[in-house]
Structure formats: C-alpha cells, structure tokens
A and B are shown apart, each in its own frame.
Chain A
Amino acid sequence: MTTPNLTETAMQRDRAVTIYEKSKEGRRAAHLPAAGVPEPPLDELIPWNLLRDDSPRLPEIAEPEIVRHYNRLSRRNFDLDTGFYPLGSCTMKHNPRLNERVAALSGHARLHPAQEPRRAQGALELMWLLQESLAEICGLPHVSLQPSAGSHGELAGLLLTRAFHADRGETRPKVLTPDTAHGTNPASVTMAGYEVVKVATDEDGGVEMDDLRDKVSDEVACLMLTNPNTLGLFDENIAEIASVIHEVGGTLYYDGANLNAIMGHSRPGDMGFDIVHVNLHKSFSQPHGGGGPGAGPIVVSDRIEPFLPRPQVVRREGTNGSRQPFFDLDIDRPKSIGRLRGFQGNFGVFVRSYAYILSLGADGLAEASETAVLNANYLKARLAEGRAGEHLPVAFDRHAMHEFVLSGAPMKKKLGVKTLDLAKRLLDFGFHPPTVYFPLLVDEALMIEPTETETKESLDGFAQAIEEILAEAEGDPDIAREAPYTTPVRRLDEVAATRRPRIRQPLG
C-alpha cells in the first residue's frame, strides 16, 4: 500500500484527462439544421472512391462537459490578467478589454475578406489610418500590414532587401546579425536564402564597431538590428552603424520587438533604418493568446516602397467631383515581392491595435514608453540591492531602456542554483519568470521586462520574492533545485518528450 501524498495540491491530484478520454459514444453538443433539400446518398453526388469511409474520431461529448473541460484546462494556465509576467522581449503589457469589444463588432468580425472594397470602406480606412499611425511612430513613410507576426515581417523585410538589390542588378549573399539577436533573425535569414554572418557585441553591450567594419563588404545585403537591443540597451553608435551599412549599399533592418522603449522619443527611420517590423502583439497591446495571434506590419523607406507586398491599402482622392476619399486594395504593383499570405492580413489585430493607439494618443504612447523605461530601471535598481545584487549582477551596468539582463552565474557558482531553478521557484511565488538563457552571450541570463502597466507594488513584490528565494537557497539550495511544488504539475521531463515524441492521443 502506498502512503497518501498529503502535500499534493488539489489541482495536482486532478490528473490531466484529455477530451478524447471523456468521450462516450452517442453524446453530442451540436444540433444542425435540417438539410431542407433532397437528400440522395452521398455517392450519387461524389464518386465513392473520393469519399471517406469512417468519420474522424472526434470526441463525443455534451456541451456542459465541453465547457467544464476547457474551463478546467484554463485554470491550469498562468496568465497576464492573473499576475506579473516580466518575460523579456515579449512586452507583456495589459490587454485592454475595450479592444476585444470593438474587434467583435459585426462590422469587423463578420466582414468577408473578399468583400468588394466599395462595401468595406470602414475596414480599409481603419487599415489606412493604422498604416499612417505606424509610419509616424516609426519615422518612415510606407507601411504594409500584411505580415502575420514579427518573424513573418522579418522574412518580408529580407525578401524586400533581395528585391531591392535584384532591381539594381546586384546579388548579395550575406546578412549580418549581432550575437544578441532573437533566434527568429537568423532563421529568417536562412529562409530568405542568405547566409548568416554574426557580429560581436562590445563591452558596452552595443555592436562591436571594429568587427562590423571587418565584416561589411559589397556582399552584405542587410544588417538586422534590435535597438534598444536584447540587452535592453540603446546602441549609441546607431548613426555610425547605419552609415557603415549604407556605404556598402546594404539595407538596415529594425527588429521592432523592443519598440515599446522608444515610442514618441526616437524613431527607427530617423536612426537610418530602411525597414522596420512592428509587433502589434507587443507594443500595441494585442493579447498574446498563448502563442498568437499577432501581426508584424512592416514600415519602410521610399527606396523600398516599390517592392512592398500586394495588395497595398491606398487612399485615392474622390472621383466624379466627390470629396469623399476612396480606400482601395492596390494590386497593380509591378515590382512587388507579391503576397506573403491570404487576403489582407490579421485585420482583427489591426482593429485592437488601432483602438489602442486612439486610446493613448501621441502623449499617451510617449508616456507608455517613459513608464516602461522607468519601471525597468526601478526594478533593476531594486535587484541591485541585497542578495540579488550579490548573486544576480546586471550583465551591463548602465541605465537600461525597457528591459535589462541579469546573470545568474554567481548564483550558480556560490549557491549551486541555476537560473532555471530560480525561474522554477518563482512559479511557487505566483510570478511568471523572466526570459531565461537569452541573450546567449550572457551566462545564465535572466531577461526582465516589466512593461509600463505594472505598479511599483508589483515590482517590489517581485524583487522581494527574488530576495526570499535567494535567502532560502543560501540555507538549502535543493528547495530551488526541485521547484516548483505548487503548480498543476511539477518539473517535466522535456528530454523524453523529444526523444520519444507522443504528440497525439492514440484513439481506439
């Protein structure tokens, strides 16, 4: 007989059961309308050899149990509405519910994407207004809203670069990315048919200028940069970097993941960038949805504009004496790289982000960035005190922008507690951990981005939790090493899940 585990929480006792395991033959939720038309056997309409033999084994379950199932699953998620979520580079700011309400209006949600532009003027005008807003925020004149996320925008930007050079009769095989770059950057470079060349980081956390000069040549198509970079530091040499790249005829690409730091304060276009992607699901409050949807509009300079994807939303002056402008989808773009996806992009995301921009306005956006930077620097200062200051030193000791990176290397050495252990112990304290082990050049990295929508109290609470965890680890490092204890499941075997992947439910 096994001893009952008295420390197991109620949710831990409630083991995972899939919806397929709850299925019972004959149960159902949906009732469909009667056909109302003749109902011949299906094989009189479609040849039998093109028809399916058996129905797919979907669950058979009534509506109340479906609702319970997914509500129960939802409680096994931590979410931004529940607590602090300082996931660096991800900009987990509050998602205003107004945005959900306006996105759900029938005029938006029930509008067919192939509707004639004449009968979709409100939607096209909204897209045009969002384009104009992003152009102003980024300091570049032209926008395509089409890319579905940041990485899609990166691919678009690289294909634009390829088209731009091809138009000048040039073939350039290389793209430069700093060693601090998001993983999506090098992955996009390969998909766009280029070779990645890494550029080193200097002792101030910026691009190592000598290394950059060594690596630029007329073989370089583009430099992809995040500024402030993934260390949360603004690269003060950006104007010089831009001129180095432009002198050899390359384009400068701005990864907009960190745009939240500088809205209304500084603009990528003014820094010399040619192509920018904007993560509407970061800076512009689209909820992350547990991994999307997002949108990754691209904002570009005049010389890149001819190559933008199609269709492009345009504003035409009224014809036949009408003063009313007409918003249209322009497909007549001979130099365009073409489509990146179906229809016009993630319109529902555009509605939410435009509502956000309207809500904040010019001053509000600048204030959002100011508060994001203030919050990051305050939390950085709090974490420079006490045990955190001793065990988790900041990787680059300068004022940060909207995020900062600590190194858990001393903690690992002195306490035998890794960054991963600290992250897992934070779960027991009700916090989402920071981004860990990124950027790669910082040993045992913790990347912390509080965002502007957190209060001083929540920042203090987080700093206090780190202090307590470190104090506890000084006494008994195993507490952190074996954490978490209170979550729906404890530390999971990720290696087994990859070595012997079980990625679907076996069905009888």
Chain B
Amino acid sequence: MLDAIGVGSTAELFDQIPADLRLGRALDLPDGMTEAEVFERLAALAERNVHADREITFLGAGMYDHYVPAIVDAITQRSEFLTPYTPYQPEISQGGLQVMFEFQTAMSELTGLPVSNAGLYEGPSSVASAAYLAMAATGRKRFVVSRGLHPHSRETLATYSEGYGSTVAEVGLDGGVTDAAALALAADGETAAVFLQNPNFLGAVEDIEALGAAATEHGALVIVAVDPMTLGVLKPPGDSGADVAVGEGQPLGNRLDFGGPSYGFFCATPDHIRRMPGRIAGETTDADGRRGFVLALQTREQHIRREKATHNICTAQALNALAGMVHLAWLGREGFRELGELLVRRTAYARDRLAAVDGVELLHDAPVAREFAVTLDAPVAEVLDQAAERGIAAGYPLAREYPEYENGLLVAITERRSKEDIDLLAETLEAAVRLLATGDRRQVPA
C-alpha cells in the first residue's frame, strides 16, 4: 500500500502536521484490553449502580420504568437499522425512511397535530427548538413558561435564549396547576409563545384549552410538552388548541439508560411545516412509478440552507424513534388506550393509598394521570434513605428543583408497579415517617 502511495512509511503521511504540533509521545491512557477484560471492567462499574431490577422504583420526573417488549430489542439490534448513516441515499434507505414515515404518522395521531418530524434529541432540547420555531413564526422574542414545565426544559430554554436573544417569564402554580390568572396577565402582544406541560411536572392534568386561550388571543403560539404514554386517555394537544406539541419519547420503547439516548418528538399545525426542525420523511414515487420515501423539505435543513436553516440538527436519534414506533405497534390501538387507563387507575389508587398514611399529605388535589406529588411530615432525604434500605426508590425529592416544596415527593407509576408494590410503598413511608418524626433514626425493620 505504501508503494502505491509513494511513501516509505505511514509516518510520512503525518508530515503535513507541523513537527511542533505532533504529540511525540503515547497518549496517557491505559493499554488496550481484550474483549473479555473490557467486559469485566464495564460489568464491574455497572455493578455499582442501583438499577431498576434491584429495587422497586417510583422514580419518574420525565423518564419512566415501562416494560419494553422484547421485539424492540430484536428489531433495533438488527445491523440494517443499527449501523447505517442518515438516509442520504434514499434508494438504499427505504427501510429507515419508511420507519420515519410511520413514526411521523403515529406521533401525529397521538398529539392530534397533522405535521410531525422524524424526531429530535430528547425532551427539553425539543422545547427549546419549539421556541426557535415560535420566534420565526411570530417575529417576537418573549416566552412565557409555566412553572409546571419540567425544570430541565425551563433551564434548557433559558440556556438557548442567550443565543436567541429572547426573554423568558415564568408563571407560577396554584393548587398544583398553572395559575390561569397570572398566565393571562403574563401573555401579551410581545409574546411569541406560551409553554405548558401536560401532565405538568407535579403530575397534574392541565386544562390546556382554557390556559392556551390567553396566548392565542395575543397571537402567541401555544406549545405543550406532553408525556406520550398519557395520550391514549388525555385529550391530545391538537384538540386543545396547541400549535406545537413536543415531548420526551423515552417512555415509548426506550431504556432508562441513566438519561439517554432517547428521542424527542415535535408535532405542529400545517402552517408551520416549512419551519419544522429536523428530518421529515415524505412519500413519493420512483422512476418506474413505485411507491417510495425520501427526506422531504430538505431546504429547511442545515446541509442545504446553512446559516438560514430552521435548526442546526444533523445526527438525531433515529434508532430510538424506531424503538418508539415498534413499541407503539406492539401496544396497538387498543393496548395503548388500555395502558393509559391502567396508569390513570393505578395512579389514583396509589394517591389515595398514600394520602391515607399518617404523615403523608397530598401536595395538590388536581387530577393526575401517571404521577402525583405528596408532602411528608419528615425530612424527605432521610425517608428516601430508609426506603432505599428496603429496596424501594420511593420517588423524586421535589426540593432538588422546587425549594418551595421542602419535603415534597413526586411518585411515578407504570404498569410494572403492581398494587402490592404500591401497598409496600405506603407501608414503608408510614413506618419511615413515624420513626423519623419521633426522632428515632434507626433503620425501619424489614
């Protein structure tokens, strides 16, 4: 090979790097390891994590421990889906492109909005992407967000706003839901969009239609972050006056993975189709008239439009969106609705069961779908430690993001949390709060 190139050694090819910029030593990294050694090393690290097979987890706050069917793994691990690049050559990428088309159809059905892209990175950055669309659509640079919007979404929007040159005003919660009067005051003729979440971070089901009216009146967009798992039962954002719906796709088909990779979804009304971020697959025909799929509307995208693009995204999360699509196909029309109903009923049971415990009060009594918030009569961190000793991750301590809820606990329910698990959570919280309230810090007896 060197003869064909006309050099004496591979090193000569690196001569184009000026001598003083060559490293001239080995990297300060360990030597390479065999496959078996790497496996053992990584397995040892994994062993030090308390994961959802080792405890009964009621953690949610945006990512949820749903059962992912085996066919999701079987299909997403196929080389033909796992190892191609973005489908720039559609003739040999029909599989991936058709998956995108099917995914877009599914997300459009779930959200009740006719236009969907093929996915974005994940939830909170999708919220920030929706803000970019809202600025282009309205020519305005002011956003109003509900405090019920996931704190990661609010913070991501604030980060992006430094680049957008936009401002963000926050509206508080009242009784667990967005304060409608405050929102009506905050939304004005300068507002590009109002951001809501349903169910909101405290698990409360919001009245999107009523809240959104205040934005629509001033020509601002209504952007709603939704949990896809609730859309079998909750009114879809498109039927509630939303202009854009975005969300975190993890509950559909994706593992917890300590936070990623998952996917974001992005749906809108038809008037925004040419402002959408990300890839969009479209149906067309080939030279012989056969049905086929291509990346449509590419003139929005960075590789064509460069500085005038609607977004900078290139590599997104196609494989994760495929996982979501396969999970949805597996659930099917009936199964998806049944799962939503199951979540609502188990969550209602869990909330009633915990509310009946001495030392546990509801943080709000708004309707809930899959997650709810309570307040404990004891330091939440210590209660969580006690529960962890009994193999239960009791929930998410709200004070991490909401200092106003000092001993607040956010409890998430999935189809993997049975009535018995919920009863055990209630008993554990009861015992922990009782012990801690009497100043007795001993471990709760198992």
A in complex with B: yes
Residues in B neighbouring A355, C-beta threshold 8 A: 38, 42
B318:A290 contact, CB within 8 angstroms:
yes
B302:A365 contact, CB within 8 angstroms:
no
Distance, CA A168 to CA B303, complexed state (A)? 34
Say whether, besides A78-B92, A238-B21, A424-B91, A342 and B248 are in contact (CB < 8 Å): yes
Q: How far is the CB of B422 from chain A (nearest CB, A)?
A: 8
Q: How far is the CB of A54 from chain B (nearest CB, A)?
A: 9
Whether B186 sits at the interface, judged by CB under 8 Å, is: no
A494:B10 contact, CB within 8 angstroms:
no
A192:B163 contact, CB within 8 angstroms:
yes
Whether A306 sits at the interface, judged by CB under 8 Å, is: no
A398:B16 contact, CB within 8 angstroms:
yes
Distance, CA A378 to CA B93, complexed state (A)? 29
Which positions 293-322 of chain B face chain A at CB distance < 8 Å? 293-299, 301-309, 311-320, 322
B258:A111 contact, CB within 8 angstroms:
yes
Distance, CA A213 to CA B306, complexed state (A)? 24
Whether A289 sits at the interface, judged by CB under 8 Å, is: yes
Q: How far is the CB of B416 from chain A (nearest CB, A)?
A: 9
A501:B91 contact, CB within 8 angstroms:
no
Whether B233 sits at the interface, judged by CB under 8 Å, is: yes
Chain A CB within 10 Å — which of B91, B236, B283 has the most? B91
A498:B330 contact, CB within 8 angstroms:
no
A290:B23 contact, CB within 8 angstroms:
no
A290:B329 contact, CB within 8 angstroms:
no
Q: How far is the CB of A100 from chain B (nearest CB, A)?
A: 7
Whether A335 sits at the interface, judged by CB under 8 Å, is: no
Distance, CA A234 to CA B18, complexed state (A)? 9
Residues in B neighbouring A187, C-beta threshold 8 A: 302, 305-307, 309, 311-312
B329:A136 contact, CB within 8 angstroms:
no
Say whether, besides A19-B329, A40-B345, A184 and B314 are in contact (CB < 8 Å): yes
Distance, CA A496 to CA B52, complexed state (A)? 48
A81:B313 contact, CB within 8 angstroms:
no
B23:A114 contact, CB within 8 angstroms:
no
Distance, CA A35 to CA B347, complexed state (A)? 10
A30:B307 contact, CB within 8 angstroms:
no
Q: How far is the CB of B101 from chain A (nearest CB, A)?
A: 7
B29:A183 contact, CB within 8 angstroms:
no
Whether B138 sits at the interface, judged by CB under 8 Å, is: no
Whether A33 sits at the interface, judged by CB under 8 Å, is: yes
Whether B379 sits at the interface, judged by CB under 8 Å, is: no
Distance, CA A390 to CA B158, complexed state (A)? 55
A-B contact pairs, 12 of them (CB 8 A): A16-B292, A52-B239, A53-B235, A77-B92, A110-B255, A113-B260, A162-B162, A162-B163, A187-B309, A292-B316, A344-B258, A494-B294
Residues in B neighbouring A191, C-beta threshold 8 A: 132, 160, 163-164, 311-312
Say whether, besides A15-B291, A102-B43, A346-B260, A67 and B83 are in contact (CB < 8 Å): no
Distance, CA A344 to CA B21, complexed state (A)? 33
Distance, CA A8 to CA B84, complexed state (A)? 25
Beyond the given pairs A46-B234, A51-B234, A342-B259, 20 more chain A to chain B contacts, judged by CB atoms under 8 angstroms and listed by A's residue number, are A8-B288, A23-B333, A29-B332, A35-B341, A55-B232, A58-B106, A73-B99, A113-B257, A114-B396, A122-B48, A183-B306, A187-B302, A264-B23, A354-B42, A370-B14, A380-B5, A489-B94, A501-B273, A504-B101, A507-B109
A377:B89 contact, CB within 8 angstroms:
no
B95:A77 contact, CB within 8 angstroms:
yes
Closest chain A residue, CB of each to CB of B124: A342
Say whether, besides A18-B98, A79-B79, A110-B52, A189 and B307 are in contact (CB < 8 Å): yes
Say whether, besides A341-B125, A373-B13, A73 and B83 are in contact (CB < 8 Å): no
Residues in B neighbouring A15, C-beta threshold 8 A: 290-291
Q: How far is the CB of A381 from chain B (nearest CB, A)?
A: 4
Residues in A neighbouring B27, C-beta threshold 8 A: 136-137, 263-264, 362, 365-366
B87:A290 contact, CB within 8 angstroms:
yes
Residues in B neighbouring A98, C-beta threshold 8 A: 35, 38-39
Distance, CA A155 to CA B313, complexed state (A)? 10
- CB-based A-B contact count at 8 angstroms: 701
A111:B256 contact, CB within 8 angstroms:
yes
Residues in B neighbouring A100, C-beta threshold 8 A: 77, 82
Whether A293 sits at the interface, judged by CB under 8 Å, is: yes
Whether A219 sits at the interface, judged by CB under 8 Å, is: no
Q: How far is the CB of A389 from chain B (nearest CB, A)?
A: 13
B42:A42 contact, CB within 8 angstroms:
no
Residues in A neighbouring B422, C-beta threshold 8 A: 37
A358:B33 contact, CB within 8 angstroms:
yes
Give 1 or 0 for each of A368-385: 1 = CB within 8 Å of chain B CB. Answer: 001101100110111000
Indicate which residue in B69, B89, B105, B258 contacts A30 across the interface (CB closer than 8 Å).
Answer: B69
Whether B137 sits at the interface, judged by CB under 8 Å, is: no
B102:A184 contact, CB within 8 angstroms:
no
Q: How far is the CB of B117 from chain A (nearest CB, A)?
A: 9
Whether A239 sits at the interface, judged by CB under 8 Å, is: yes
B156:A340 contact, CB within 8 angstroms:
yes
Whether A471 sits at the interface, judged by CB under 8 Å, is: no
Whether A243 sits at the interface, judged by CB under 8 Å, is: no
Q: How far is the CB of B75 from chain A (nearest CB, A)?
A: 5
Closest chain A residue, CB of each to CB of B281: A503
A46:B367 contact, CB within 8 angstroms:
yes
Whether B271 sits at the interface, judged by CB under 8 Å, is: no
Distance, CA A122 to CA B48, complexed state (A)? 5
**Which of B59-67, B214-222, B428-436, B437-445 is found at the contact surface with chain A?**
B59-67
Say whether, besides A80-B83, A112-B393, A378 and B1 are in contact (CB < 8 Å): yes
Which positions 334-360 of chain A face chain B at CB distance < 8 Å? 337-349, 351, 354-355, 357-360
Q: How far is the CB of A398 from chain B (nearest CB, A)?
A: 7
Distance, CA A382 to CA B384, complexed state (A)? 65
Q: How far is the CB of A391 from chain B (nearest CB, A)?
A: 19
Distance, CA A115 to CA B400, complexed state (A)? 12
Chain A CB within 10 Å — which of B21, B319, B344 has the most? B21
Chain B CB within 10 Å — which of A5, A75, A292 has the most? A292
Residues in B neighbouring A82, C-beta threshold 8 A: 79-80
Residues in A neighbouring B396, C-beta threshold 8 A: 114
